[in-house]
Amino acid sequence: MTYDLIVLGGGPAGYLAAERAGNAGLSVALCEERSLGGVCLNEGCIPTKTLLYSAKLYDGVRHGEKYGVKAEGLTIDHSEVIKRKNKVVRALVAGVKAQMRNSKVTVFMARGVIEGKNGADFVVKAGEETLLGKKLLIATGSSAAVPPIEGLKEGLASGFVLTNREILDLSEKPERLCVIGGGVIGLELASYFNSIGTKVTVVEMLDHIAGETDQDLVKILKADLEKRGIVFELNAKVTRVSGNAVHYEQNNENKQVEADKVLLSIGRRANTRDLGLEKIQVLVERGAVVTDDKMQTNIPNVYAAGDVNGRSMLAHTAYREAEVAVNNILGEKDLMRYDAIPAVLYTNPEISSVGETEATAAKKGLPFKTVQLPMQYSGRYQAENEGGRGIMKLLVDPKTERVLGCHLLCNYSSEFIILAGAFITQGLTLNQIKKIVFPHPTVSEIVREAVFQYK
């Protein structure tokens, strides 16, 4: 038979596209070589959140005196945390499997490789099977980038250096962890391992951590993390990894940090190799599949969604891109927008952002006004964050009085940053937002407060 759609990759982009297409009545084949759910479910978003929740609970009780809570003999058992993580992952992977069944998607647990064309159909080899498809969706995701640094490959082979994949299966707590790269993965895992008692050093090439995140918020977070014992080595260029150390150059000096394990988290590369993309001339630039705003590649009937197109390597972007691709496959017009995609750094406290920062707005020459408030404006925040130093920033276009961006340093912000995302997507004006009733008391009321404080 010829499938209406063949999906390569069973991560958030692939499984959601397969589900939507299956539910719309298309015959769908999905190829996955490792585990349904992809990086997000198996070795990314979900497992790290289970680890971070255990750490948050432990830290909350450990520092509970300020709330009148005292505990004795408190411990955190890393191996139990990992066991629970595995249970959560298993349940969710089983859920995706059930979704595929319910949507009548045929799953091939094998790597899908494009062989070429047979008339108008695409030919894909999935293990021993040869599949034919009218349309293709490439959703093969990304992998940890491995730069050409001396000793890194050997370190990965020996198990001294780990990526996000292996570190989540460490059954024992390392005494000393060196994190190469102070981005999202590095900071989330530095935060967890610090909480369970590992001595953590983050080695970052730039003069700041957390990439393009609002640096006023990041400075406060960094100071908090330093107070907890995490050491940051900035402007530090890693030159070599040896038996038990990471060597780096900082201010023209050669330095090293000794460690029991090293986490490599310096960014990700789209998985475009050995997929047979060249057999059908799919355009790949800087290692990623090029897509338009319908998620179509340069080849008609071939789409790409998720990390593989390198546009915004986030699971929630992947979901939406998958829907856009399927809607276009079904002949419905739907275009992808990238201007209101929330991003969250799940440290404790969290940083959540959407839209422009002051730095990106200035760079683009966009006129903006900023409302900045301490989180103490929220009663719920005060009740639950003794001594908290959270802040919020709202960026507004002074001409249209529409929201351009929102940045929050406080817990729960991941749960309500979408408010600002919705304001941007829908183009709501401050006057329209003022008429929305927020539940009280909630941390989210800070958004309403900022809107009223705008002058």
Piece in contact with ligand NAI (CB under 6 A), picked from 30-38, 50-58, 198-206, 403-411: 198-206
Q: Applying CB under 6 A, does 359 fall inside the site for ligand NAI?
A: no
Q: Applying CB under 6 A, does 12 fall inside the site for ligand NAI?
A: no
Q: How far is the CB of 231 from ligand NAI (least distance, A)?
A: 14
Task: Give 22 or 421: the residue with its C-beta nearer to ligand NAI.
Answer: 421
Task: Give 256 or 301: the residue with its C-beta nearer to ligand NAI.
Answer: 256
Q: Applying CB under 6 A, does 314 fall inside the site for ligand NAI?
A: yes
Reported in sequence order, the residue ranges of 9-153 that DSSP labels E, i.e. its strands, are 28-31, 105-108, 112-118, 121-126, 129-138, 142-144
Whole-number Å distance between alpha carbons of 216 and 360? 14
Burial class from Cβ neighbours inside 10 Å (0-12, 13-18, 19+) for residue 308 reads buried
Task: Give 203 or 326: the residue with its C-beta nearer to ligand NAI.
Answer: 203
Q: What are phi and psi of 387, to 5 degrees?
A: 75, 10
Q: Applying CB under 6 A, does 180 fall inside the site for ligand NAI?
A: yes
Q: How far is the CB of 182 from ligand NAI (least distance, A)?
A: 5
> What Cα–Cα distance (Å) separates residue 156 from each residue in 42, 60, 436?
20, 34, 52
User: Residue 268 corresponds to which tokens in the numbers above?
Assistant: 């990700």
Q: How far is the CB of 349 from ligand NAI (least distance, A)?
A: 14
Point out the residues that are catalytic. Answer: 440
Q: How many angstroms separate the most distant Cα atoms in the chain?
A: 73
Task: Give 188 or 356: the residue with its C-beta nearer to ligand NAI.
Answer: 188
Asked whether the beta carbons of 147 and 17 are under 8 A apart, the reply is: no
Asked whether the beta carbons of 356 and 366 are under 8 A apart, the reply is: yes
Task: Give 205 or 245: the residue with its C-beta nearer to ligand NAI.
Answer: 205
Q: Applying CB under 6 A, does 259 fall inside the site for ligand NAI?
A: no
Q: Applying CB under 6 A, does 428 fall inside the site for ligand NAI?
A: no
Residue from 64, 211, 287, 374 in contact with ligand NAI (CB under 6 A): 211
Piece in contact with ligand NAI (CB under 6 A), picked from 111-119, 180-188, 382-390, 394-402: 180-188
Those residues whose C-beta lies under 8 Å from the C-beta of residue 255, and which sit 6 or more positions away, are: 233, 236, 247, 248, 249
Whole-number Å distance between alpha carbons of 387 and 391? 13
Ordered DSSP codes for 196-218: TT-EEEEE-SSSSSSTTS-HHHH
Q: What are phi and psi of 3, to 5 degrees?
A: -75, 150
Task: Give 185 or 361: the residue with its C-beta nearer to ligand NAI.
Answer: 185
Q: Applying CB under 6 A, does 390 fall inside the site for ligand NAI?
A: no
Q: Applying CB under 6 A, does 181 fall inside the site for ligand NAI?
A: yes
Collapsing DSSP to helix, strand or coil, 152 comes out as helix
User: Which residue has the CB atom at the shortest distance from ligand NAI?
Assistant: 183
Q: Applying CB under 6 A, does 344 fall inside the site for ligand NAI?
A: yes
Q: Applying CB under 6 A, does 313 fall inside the site for ligand NAI?
A: yes
Residues forming the site for ligand NAI (CB under 6 A)? 147, 180-186, 188, 203-206, 211, 238, 265-268, 313-314, 343-346
